[in-house]
Amino acid sequence: IQRETESCNYYITKLDSPAKSEYHKAEYRVIRLRNSLTILLISDLEEANNDNMKYKDYEENCSSANRVKKDVWILCVRVGSFNDPPEVSGLAHFLQFWIKKDVITREREIIQRVKNTKERLLSFIAQTDHLPSKFLRGNSTALKNNLKKMYIIKCMISSKYKNIYFEYNPEAIVGASLCFGNYFLELNTYGEASEDHLWIGLVLIVLIMITGVFSYYQDTKSSRIMESFQQMIPQCAKVLRDSERKELLATELVVGDIVLLETGDQVPADIRILECQGLKVDNASITGESIPLIRMANIPQTGSVIQAKNMVFFSTNVVEGSGKGVVVACGDHTVMGRVVKLTSRLPTRPTPLSREIHRFIKLVSCWAIFLGVSFFTMSIAMGHDWIDSVLFLIGIIVANVPEGIVATMTVSLTLTAKRMASKNCLVKNLEAVETLGCTAVICSDKTGTLTQNKMTVRHVWYNGQLCEVMSSDTWRKYINDPGFKNLARVASLCNRAEWAPILKDEPLPPLNKRKILGDASDAALLRCMEILVKGGTDSFRKNYVKILEIPFNSTDKFQANIHLFRSKYLISFKGAPERVLERCSTVAFGNETKDLNEEIRSAYTESCYILANNGERVLGFADLELSTKAFPVGYHFEADPPNFPLENLRLIGLIAMMDPPRPAVPDAVYKCRCAGIKVIMVTGDHPDTAKAIAKYVGIITDHDDYANSNRKQDIVVTGTQLRDLLPEQLDQLIRQHQEIVFARTSPVQKLQIVESCQRLHLITAVTGDGVNDSPALKKADIGIAMGITGSDVSKQVADLILLDDNFASIVTGIEEGRRIFDNLKSSIAYTLASNVPEITPFLAFIVLGIPLPVGVICILCIDLGTDMWPAIALAYEKSESDIMLRYNLLSFLFFLLRKPRIPQSDHLVSRKLIFMAYGQIGVIEACAGFFTYFVVMAEHGFLPKRLLGLRSMWDSSVVNDLEDSFGQEWTYQQRKVLEYTCHTAFFVSIVIAQVADAMVCKTRRNSLLRQGMGNWVLNLGLLLEIVLACVVCYAPYMDRILKTYSLKPEWWLLGVPYAIIILIYEELRKWWIRRHPGGWWDKETSY
């Protein structure tokens, strides 16, 4: 609160320093109300009565303009008093006397009303034309200053305070509480207590804190969305205020400001155009259109606001021309602001992996609680002390819950994310790694994702022939071609694009990295001529003096330039192909000029049709040399109306360009189709352009399917058609068609497409680079943003960022996602197998009445110690298909040919996995543990028969003469040493069996002999597992820390036969599955 107070005083000082002496009596204070709403109040008791009168008058005048109840008007507190000079004179006057009397008593009610009406109130204030004229004193600058103060207060009110919290593990909390409670209860009851309970509680508390840190880190990542939106705000804007041209910060703009726009400016707000000259804007960040759009004034709006030709929008760029317009929306109220607000309000959808983990934890928790409560009740019924029964309860819960599984998954996903980062896939949300592997639909943006977002010349037509421009072409190919020279001259002269200036000390960057000032079409021509003409466009421009230009407009659809060269004037003409053709009467063939006949017209028209169907933008070019008699040197040319001929021109040719697809995209789309993934294009571009690109990259294929000739495979849906579809109809459309292109879509419609896919239970990935893609990116199961061309908002929302902007990198993510899911299954199967030998000792302890075979401390040593590294190392295991096929390419395709998993049926922890872990491998490990336990007991004189029912006497501290099977007497202390030795031996036998289990979990179908032991991370993990077991057994002071004791070397060998049994059994099972695919063993044990 102190920091906020200082900040408020700082703003007040900066804003009102010229008038500070006029209201020196005003007292400023900040009152922090609940819900972190900060309200700035001003006390001026001397003018309370006057304020009261003015407030009532003001309230009456506002009655017809959506008046808000006076309780809520405290949000509009005015900085200053009513006696301020004109420079800071005001609006939104307040009755301070009423505020002082009434606010504190009805604070809760006011807060609730603030929540309900804050946005409506602030919007009302922004509509300055609704305010009573009597309160708009002074000039427009005064009004703007007051609105600027309202903006600062709004920012303060909108600020939210997030508290750090931890997402606790409820099972761990209950376990820790029981441990501490049992420890202190036993201490108060008997005067002494086992420290086991205390240590277990501390370990669980540490586990809770670690889990909480991970949860907090995941939850705070989305808080930067609005911050990145603020970074998009242009720094300055040129405005007209008080008949003067001023340069202001974009944050100071308000509705009604007149803004001047020039080439290269970023639009600072939503602006309606009043005047313009050749104004073109790049709307790619909003609509996804790669071609700059012409803006005009005085054009009635038809359709949606986004399609209006007299509007420019916040964050778009002016690429050509100039204009003047009035601000109609600022900040959150702009089209882009509404998109960002929509994005921030969307709830985060849980990933399939998180749902699987929650399902797994729920199953394990219910099972653990059921067993714990059951055996607690059984223990009480059998006459055991209730404190000991609580110990059983805790032991059963700890043994059932794999405490290290969350950490194992997190580390495994982190290692996979690190491996993907080396392949240009930056993972923000770790769980998204697996989500990509089970993706069934990819909704991809076109501009900048499938394409390069850079217009490029693809074809030229001259001398009556259509030629393709290859990327390997240079000026040497065309140096002796007079027909191309004529075309290059017109394309260079009738072109407004220029190279951006470079600093003197800065080296010349490569051609594809150099910046160009101008629209995309002119930039493509400039870049092409730089390569195909010796000396580039300067070879023409330095010799031809520009005299006049008629800029391109949407009505005439042409641009004309006049240049002077060697005392002759040359008209260069460029425009839509049909407009150029109708103005020509001759055609250039090399150095000759011929009459334009029907054959040439047909060839010209046919070439235009072919190129347009390819999704290319076609421009026609013509020229005309003016006679020196009619147009001598010094002739005064005029553009409106033209006083020179624009008819009977000489046709030069055509140039076609397009935003080319990325080279690796067609292959990536093909691999996605092979993997059973449907790729849908969702773009704001023109339907014809979108369909052409979709055909080029393979999203739409040409079908000759005679069997299903009545069923159309592909479909192109426009935003207008999509607006008329009901949700059920959209679902049916996506279900029926395999190849879909959505064109002319808005951000909200992209969101509707994603929601439709999710209603069909399809795991949906969305790729995009613009702010217009951000709502769909956040709503999707996995959002994929572009790292180079992507906006900051899209990167903050996305779960995965492609650092090279290459759609093909998604295929790498699919491979890694499927591999990590398989490996996580192996890790869980390995981890769960040790649960059975951890649970059964407690069951035998209660049912058979034998001394406890293994303690809770040893169980934690397994779950959080020896099992951790091997479980994590399984994430490094290569896929089984790499061995099944010889060549890497074939194996990669085989791996992808698998259909994506269905999360509703193919679970991370399935019935078959539980059956294998609990019902087979776990039973063998339990047998190993009990065999070792009985052998150690027998060597010390306690045969298995003697142990039955011995628990009550064994645990009694008053019995110091307990006889074994051979008549030897054992004191209580000696028995406990033997018991802890058995715990250690049981622990070691589990470790030995788990080594074999880790080896067999490497594969689910292949033989271990074929898979090999090439995973050296796992090899080191198995070695570390043995080393940790040795440390637990032989390290000094372990008898006090963990209650473990040294073992004889031969006791280590007791678990080896059971490890061999696991290896042999698994090899035989997998061999049978390979020989009999689809049989009972395959259906019931192949997880």
Per-residue model confidence as pLDDT tens digits over 610-632: 898 888 889 999 999 999 888 99
Which of 835, 1055, 991 has its CA nearest to residue 923?
835
Whether this prediction's pTM lies above 0.85 is answered by: no
Domain 234-344 has CATH 3.30.1330.200: no
pLDDT of 1003 above 80 = yes
DSSP annotation of 642 reads: B
Which of 793, 799, 782, 798 has its CA nearest to residue 224?
793
Q: Is the distance from CB of 483 to CB of 465 less than 8 angstroms?
A: no
Q: According to the model, what pLDDT value does residue 703 have?
A: 53
Can you tell me the mean pLDDT for 127-138? 34
End-to-end CA distance of the chain: 57
Least confident residue range of 72-76, 290-294, 788-792: 72-76
CATH 3.40.50.1000 in the chain, residues? 425-452+662-805
Q: According to the model, what pLDDT value does residue 276 have?
A: 86
Digit-coded pLDDT (tens) for 627-653: 988 899 889 998 888 889 999 999 999
Q: According to the model, what pLDDT value does residue 135 have?
A: 33
Can you tell me the mean pLDDT for 953-961? 88
Neighbouring C-beta atoms of residue 198, cutoff 10 Å: 16
Q: According to the model, what pLDDT value does residue 337 have?
A: 79
pLDDT band at 174 (very low <50, low <70, confident <90, very high): low
For residue 271, give Cα distances in angstroms to 120, 243, 279, 307, 407: 22, 19, 13, 14, 52
Q: According to the model, what pLDDT value does residue 290 have?
A: 61
Can you tell me the mean pLDDT for 83-112? 35
CA 707 to chain centre: 42
Can you tell me the mean pLDDT for 214-229? 47
pLDDT of 856 above 90 = no
User: Cβ contacts of residue 540 below 8 Å, gap of 6+?
Assistant: 488, 489, 492, 493, 533
Q: What percent of the chain has pLDDT over 90?
A: 27
Helix (H) or strand (E) holding 203: helix 195-219
Please work out, in degrees rounded to the nearest 5, the angle formed at the alpha carbon of residue 429 by the alpha carbons of 424 and 431. 105
Q: What percent of the chain has pLDDT over 70?
A: 76
Rounded Cα distance, 412 and 868, in Å? 11
Domain 425-452+662-805 has CATH 3.90.600.10: no
More confident residue, 567 or 43: 567
Rounded Cα distance, 993 and 1055, in Å? 6
DSSP annotation of 875 reads: G
pLDDT band at 100 (very low <50, low <70, confident <90, very high): very low
Rounded Cα distance, 116 and 842, in Å? 57
Beta-ladder partners of 963:
969
CATH 1.20.1110.10 in the chain, residues? 402-416+815-1085
Q: According to the model, what pLDDT value does residue 1031 have?
A: 94
Quote the mean pLDDT of the chain.
76
In degrees to the nearest 10, what's the CA dihedral of 304, 309, 315, 320? 160
pLDDT band at 853 (very low <50, low <70, confident <90, very high): very high
pLDDT band at 316 (very low <50, low <70, confident <90, very high): confident
Alpha-helix residue ranges (DSSP H) falling in 619-726: 665-674, 687-697, 719-723
Sheet with 425-427, side-by-side order of all strands: 425-427, 800-802, 782-786, 764-768, 441-444, 678-682, 739-743, 714-718
Can you tell me the mean pLDDT for 673-677? 85
pLDDT band at 415 (very low <50, low <70, confident <90, very high): confident
Rounded Cα distance, 877 and 1008, in Å? 12
CATH 3.40.1110.10 in the chain, residues? 456-502+513-658
Q: Is the distance from CB of 1022 to CB of 1002 less than 8 angstroms?
A: no
Burial 379-397 (b: 16+ CB within 10 A, else e): beeeebeeebbbbbbbbbb
In degrees to the nearest 10, what's the CA dihedral of 129, 134, 137, 142? -30
Type of residue numbered 718: T
Q: According to the model, what pLDDT value does residue 188 have?
A: 78
CATH, domain 456-502+513-658, list 3.40.50.2300, 1.10.3810.10, 3.40.1110.10, 3.40.47.10? 3.40.1110.10
- Spot the catalytic one: 196, 445, 623, 867: 445
Q: According to the model, what pLDDT value does residue 71 have?
A: 33
- Pairing label, strands 584-589, 649-658: parallel
Beta-ladder partners of 275:
324
More confident residue, 226 or 254: 254
Least confident residue range of 340-344, 425-429, 885-889, 1022-1026: 885-889
Q: Is the distance from CB of 497 to CB of 522 less than 8 angstroms?
A: yes
Q: According to the model, what pLDDT value does residue 166 have?
A: 35
CA 596 to chain centre: 56
Question: 3-state SS string over 776-844?
Answer: HHHHCCEEEEECCCCCHHHHHHCCEEECCCCCCHHHHHHHHHHHHHHHHHHHHHHHHHCHHHHHHHHHH
**Residue reference for tokens 């030897």:** 968
Q: According to the model, what pLDDT value does residue 488 have?
A: 94
Can you tell me the mean pLDDT for 884-895? 41
Task: Identify whether 822 is a catalytic site residue.
Answer: no
User: Cβ contacts of residue 383 below 8 Å, gap of 6+?
Assistant: none
Burial 309-340 (b: 16+ CB within 10 A, else e): ebbbbbbbbbbbbebbbebbbbbbbbbbbbbb
Can you tell me the mean pLDDT for 347-366? 78
Digit-coded pLDDT (tens) for 11-40: 444 444 433 333 333 333 333 332 223 333
Neighbouring C-beta atoms of residue 48, cutoff 10 Å: 17
**What are the φ and ψ backbone dihedral angles of 185, each rounded to 5 degrees?**
-65, -45
DSSP annotation of 880 reads: T
pLDDT of 605 above 80 = yes
pLDDT of 72 above 60 = no
The strand ranges marked E within 834-948 are none
DSSP annotation of 919 reads: I
Q: According to the model, what pLDDT value does residue 462 have?
A: 94
Q: Is the distance from CB of 548 to CB of 637 less than 8 angstroms?
A: yes
Rounded Cα distance, 860 and 944, in Å? 27
Digit-coded pLDDT (tens) for 458-477: 999 999 899 999 888 888 88
CATH, domain 402-416+815-1085, list 3.40.50.12780, 1.20.120.530, 1.10.10.60, 1.20.1110.10? 1.20.1110.10
Q: According to the model, what pLDDT value does residue 901 have?
A: 77
Q: According to the model, what pLDDT value does residue 169 have?
A: 54
Burial 225-264 (b: 16+ CB within 10 A, else e): bbebbeebbbeebbbeeeeeeeebebbbbbbbbebbbebe
pLDDT of 160 above 70 = no
More confident residue, 939 or 99: 939
**Residue reference for tokens 């190279």:** 499
In degrees to the nearest 10, what's the CA dihedral of 212, 217, 221, 224? 100
Rounded Cα distance, 884 and 478, in Å? 53
What the block records as the tokens of 1002 is 């490497």
User: Cβ contacts of residue 730 below 8 Å, gap of 6+?
Assistant: 722, 752, 753, 756
